[in-house]
Structure 1
Amino acid sequence: MTSWLLLAAAGAPEGGLFDLDATLPLMAVQVVLLTFILNALFFRPVGKTVEERESYISTSRAEAKQQLAQTERLEADLRQQLREALQQAQAQIVAAEQEMDRLYRSALAAAQAEANGSREAARREIDTQRKLAEDTLNGEADRLGDLIVTRLLAAQ
């Protein structure tokens, strides 16, 4: 303890902070040495890690741009395929409608032909029956006329 008191009582040496003895070069060497040690132990690994992360980010960004471009190409291709599929579907719908219209018209024509045939057959049948009825009526009228004439002649 006494040595501390003696040192404290001795006071500060002359010159203070800017004394040009061996302290200034020793401090400069310590700062340079500390800089190299800190650079080797801390700054280089941190810098290397930062560079690796920047490299990873730039690589990831480039890959993302490539994938985005590929996705956009695929999307354009799919849109084109969708347009083509819609056009094909519309063409098939038009073809089906035309086929349906053709079948409808042919079925309608067949039905009309059958109806006309049935109507013509019915008209012939009616004509035949009418002719037969007329012939029968004419025969009955002739017979009744003859009967009336016979009775009138017989009554006179």
Structure 2
Amino acid sequence: MTNVFITRLDSPIGRIELVGDDAAVTGLSIECEGALPHDGEPERSNDVLDDARTQLREYFAGARTRFDVPVRLTGTPFQQAVWAELERLGWGEATSYGALAAAVGKPGSARAIGGAVGANPIPIIVGCHRVLASDGRITGYSGGDGIPTKLWLLGHEQIGFAA
């Protein structure tokens, strides 16, 4: 059985909880309505999560624009293809659901792409907040408090969007 580790940190968008195993970050949750998924469990960190926590603090302070912690994204082959495209996006870069659909060889599947983006288990580190509608609008965000959280992340990275 794999060891499961949990650590938390405060951020400008609320508390963040990192979950991982011996080798990688496997989940990141942003506080929603004052709660995190494992609030009742004590923190038990390891080197991977300590490094991820440090990198997230640097990101929020504006001192880090790329993450280099190991992540393990568990999902369907389609979801994994979408998440791999998200991992290619850098600080301040945005894409659209349609562009992601084309990149994974599924043009016209923007709605399915939206589902895969929303299912990303490691937001921020795998930048799903960088996905906008083809006209630049914000269509939603499943992390934290939803759109207000996405607005903060886009503003932090100076990513423009349509109102």
TM-score by length of 2: 0.12
TM-score by length of 1: 0.13
Query: Could you say which structure has the higher helix fraction?
Result: 1
Where relative contact order (Cα < 8 A, 6+ residues apart) is larger, the structure is 2
Larger Rg: 1
Query: Could you say which structure has the higher strand fraction?
Result: 2
